[in-house]
Amino acid sequence: MTSKERVRSAAQRKQPDRVPVNFEAVDYVMDKIMKRHALASQENIYSLYEVDIRDCSPDYIGPPLEYSIKNGKLLIGNRYGCKMIASTCAGETHWVVQEYPFGEDSTVADILNHNWVNPDWFDYESVKRKCDNYKDKALIFGHEGPYQLSTYLMNQETLFAKMILDPDVAHALYDRFVQFELEYYERILMAGDGQIDILRPHDDYGTQIASLFSVPMWEDYFKENTIKLVELAHQYGAFYQQHSCGMVRDVIPSLIDCGVDILEPLQKIPGMEVDALKRDFGNKLCFHGGIDTQSVLPKATPEEVRVEVAHYINVLGTGGGYILMASQWFESDVPVENIDALYEACRDFSASI
C-alpha cells in the first residue's frame, strides 16, 4: 500500500497493511532529532519514521504583521486581529494573546464590522505544489476551528459569559469564522484537485476532567457549523478529522451525527479509555493519536513506550480505524529515544494485528 492508500483505508475502518503513522513536533524537538540521527532536513525525519501524512496548508501572503511595543514588550498582531506576545520556556516559544478586539460591551454589529481575515490572503498555488510533491502520501490541512479562533478575539471568560447572557454575539462570532473557513477551505480543496485526504480543524472542547460545554450547548453553538464543514470535506472526497483535546466523550455521539470521520488526539485521561472508545464508537469513527505526551512519553523508558504502543495498536488498530501518533505534538520534555521507540514499535507490532 502507498501511504495515501494506508491512511484512507484506516479512515474507512478497513484493515491496512500496517497501522499508518503521523508525526508532529515543535522545532526544538525537530532539531534534536536531526542532530541525534545526523539528518539534513525535516523531511528526512518523516522518512526515518516512515510517516504517512504530509501537510498541504497554503502559504500566507496577506498583509504584513503589525509590530508595536507596550511596557517594553514586543506585541505582534496576527491575521485575525488580536495582538500577541511571545512566551519562551525550555527552548519552546508559544504565543499568548495580550489584546483582544472584542470585550464585554461588544455587539453583533461590532462582530460584523471587524476587519476579518480574508481568504485572498493565502497562496493556493502553494497547495498545488505541496500536493504534487507528495502524490503517494496522505495530505492533510486545517487550522483552529471557530471556538479556538474566537478565543483570539475575545477573552475566554468573556466569551463563555456571552454564550450564556448574550448568545447572539457568541453565535455571530462563531458563524463569522465559519463563513471565512468555508471559502478558505473550499479554495484549498479545489487547488488540491482531488488529492487532499483530510480536513482537520482543531477546537479544544474538553478539559482534563470534563467537557467545556454540555451536550445541548455544544449542539446549539457548534453542531450546525460542524455539519457544514464536514459536508464540504466530503464534497471533495476528503475525510473530516476533528481535533479536540481533553475529555470529550460526551460530545462524541454528536460528532458522529455531524458525519465526523476521525477523532484525535485521545488524551490519556479518565473517560477517554481507548478500550471503551473502540468498543462504543469504533464502528463509526477512526481514531488518531493517543500515545500520552503528559506522563508516558516524557517519563517512561523506551521499552515502556513500546508496550504502550503495542496496546494502542492491538486495541485501536485491529480491524482498521487507527492512525498512530502522540496525543499532542512532541515537546522538549520527550526524549528522542522514546520518539524512536514509538515508531520502531509501530513497525514491529503492526504485523501482529
pLDDT in tens, 263-313: 999 999 999 999 999 999 999 999 999 999 999 999 999 999 999 999 999
CA dihedral sign, ordered 48, 131, 177, 27: positive
| Whether 189 contacts 142, CB under 8 Å | no
Q: What pTM did the predictor assign?
A: 0.95
What distance in Å separates the CA atoms of residue 45 and residue 26, rounded to the nearest whole number?
13
Question: For the segment 149-178, what is each residue's pLDDT rounded down to a tens digit?
Answer: 999 999 999 999 999 999 999 999 999 999
What distance in Å separates the CA atoms of residue 226 and residue 105, rounded to the nearest whole number?
28
Backbone dihedral angles phi then psi of residue 339, each to the nearest 5 degrees: -65, -45
- Cα–Cα–Cα angle for 292, 148, 81, rounded to 5 degrees: 135
Q: Any idea which of 67-76, 285-294, 322-331, 339-348 has the lowest mean pLDDT?
A: 67-76
pLDDT band at residue 200 using 50, 70 and 90 as cut-offs: very high
Q: Which residue has the cell 457549523?
A: 225
Question: For the segment 59-103, what is each residue's pLDDT rounded down to a tens digit?
Answer: 999 999 888 887 777 888 889 999 998 877 766 777 889 999 999
Rg (CA), the chain: 20
Q: What is the mean pLDDT of the chain?
A: 95
Q: What's the burial of 110, exposed, middle or buried (CB within 10 Å: 0-12/13-18/19+)?
A: middle
Q: What is the DSSP letter of 21?
A: B
Our CA dihedral for 102, 108, 112, 114, rounded to 10 degrees, sits at -20
Per the omega criterion (within 30 degrees of 0), is the bond before 167 cis?
Answer: no
Other beta carbons within 10 Å of 206: 22
pLDDT band at residue 351 using 50, 70 and 90 as cut-offs: low
Domains of the chain: 3-63+104-352 (3.20.20.210)
